[in-house]
Each structure stands twice: as C-alpha cells, then as structure tokens.
C-alpha cells in the first residue's frame, strides 16, 4: 500500500515538471494535419470554373444521405449543380464523398470550427460550400481531360502520363 502511494506521488511529481500537452483553445489553435477531414468545400478548376458536374456520386456514396444535389446544364453542355446542399447535422466527416468524386470537386479542408447555436445554420447551401480556389489539387482540370469538348487523342492531354512500357520491368 505504501509502495503504491509513493509511486503515485512520484508520478505526480514527475509530471509537474513536464511540458503540458493542453493548449489554451480557442486563443491558441491546435496544429491539424493537412489531410485532416474537417469541413467540406466545393472547389474550382485552374480556369476558375466550378469542378462539380453534378454526377450525384458523392450523394450516392454518403452513408448518412446528407448531400442533396440538383443538376442542370449550360449551353455548351457542361453540367453543374444548380443547387448543392450538405446537412452538417448528419455528416460524420467520413470523407466518402471526397473519395467518390471523379472531378476532385468536393474536398475536405482542415477547418474543424463549425459549431453553431442554431441548427438551421448547419445546413450549407452551394454559396456556403463553393470556394474560389482549386483546393488541394491546383493543376487538375477534369473538364479538359473528359469534358464533351475534348479534342485531343487519348494520352495526349495536358495531364496525361505517357503510356507505360511493360518491357521496362524486365530484368
């Protein structure tokens, strides 16, 4: 019994002189990793056009069904979402929507400060989600690689890699 008490006191004494791991949030912000799954944004491609082509894949992949999209089309045939809503009251920040997106439009950023007093404020519309930049993929343009107006041959696109040579693996 005495031994346990002494070892407990020794541990307390040792921790007194160690650097504290707590931080004074919110004055002091924690460092979160760049791939942290925080709030969700809709990004634009390098030409400034919105990347989302309203394919509904993110909505289908979402396990809690919190994404609502209404698709429409421009005169040049490019699809985009007329409405895009995420209900963050239900979102579990799983990242499945970002994984499913073929155009890298929907991305998760490290912002975790999304608390609101009113429930209605947790419903984000397209205006709340669409940002003015390309997010984590500054050079990627889905439209130039797979849009309806693509004219280049397969493998000749700006972002295409040269074909792999299987003989390069031979000893």
Of 36, 78, 94, 137, the one binding ligand SF4 by CB under 6 A: 94
97 is a site residue for ligand SF4 (CB under 6 A) = yes
Of 39, 43, 103, 107, the one binding ligand SF4 by CB under 6 A: 103
Query: In the bound complex, what is the minimum distance in angstroms from residue 30's beta carbon to ligand SF4?
Result: 21
Write out the two tokens for 124. 């984000």
131 is a site residue for ligand SF4 (CB under 6 A) = no
State which residue, 23 or 92, has the beta carbon closest to ligand SF4: 92
Stretch that binds ligand SF4, among 19-27, 95-103, 132-140, 150-158 (CB under 6 A): 95-103
What is the side-by-side order of every strand in the sheet holding 123-124? Answer: 67-73, 79-87, 123-124
Write out the two tokens for 159. 């972002």
Query: In the bound complex, what is the minimum distance in angstroms from residue 80's beta carbon to ligand SF4?
Result: 9
Q: Is the peptide bond before 94 cis (omega within 30 degrees of 0)?
A: no
Of 39, 41, 45, 86, the one binding ligand SF4 by CB under 6 A: 86
Output 72-76 pairs: Cβ under 8 A, ≥24 positions apart: 76/148, 76/149
Query: In the bound complex, what is the minimum distance in angstroms from residue 14's beta carbon to ligand SF4?
Result: 41
Q: Three-state DSSP class for 85?
A: strand
Count the neighbouring beta carbons within 10 Å of the beta carbon of residue 140. Answer: 18
Q: Residue 158: is it exposed, middle or buried by C-beta count within 10 angstroms (0-12/13-18/19+)?
A: exposed
- Residue 41 pairs in a beta bridge with 107
Site string for ligand SF4, 43-82 (x = CB under 6 A): ---------xxxxxxx--xx-x-xx-x-------------
Q: Which residues bind ligand SF4 (CB under 6 A)?
A: 52-58, 61-62, 64, 66-67, 69, 86, 91-97, 100-101, 103, 105-106
């Amino acid at each position: 019994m005495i031994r346990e008490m002494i070892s407990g006191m020794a541990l307390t004494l040792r921790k007194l002189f160690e650097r504290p791991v707590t931080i004074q949030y919110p004055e002091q912000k924690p460092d979160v990793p760049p791939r942290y799954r925080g709030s969700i944004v809709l990004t634009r491609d390098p030409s400034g056009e919105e990347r989302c082509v309203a394919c509904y894949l993110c909505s289908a992949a979402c396990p809690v069904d919190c994404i609502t999209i209404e698709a429409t089309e421009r005169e040049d045939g490019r699809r985009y979402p007329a409405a895009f809503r995420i209900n963050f009251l239900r979102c579990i920040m799983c990242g499945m929507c970002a994984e499913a997106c073929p155009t890298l439009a929907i991305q998760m950023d490290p912002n975790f400060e999304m608390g609101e007093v009113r429930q209605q404020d947790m419903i984000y519309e397209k205006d709340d989600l669409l940002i003015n930049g390309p997010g984590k993929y500054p050079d990627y343009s889905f439209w130039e690689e797979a849009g309806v107006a693509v004219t280049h041959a397969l493998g000749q696109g700006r972002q295409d890699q040269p074909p792999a040579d299987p003989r390069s693996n031979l000893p």
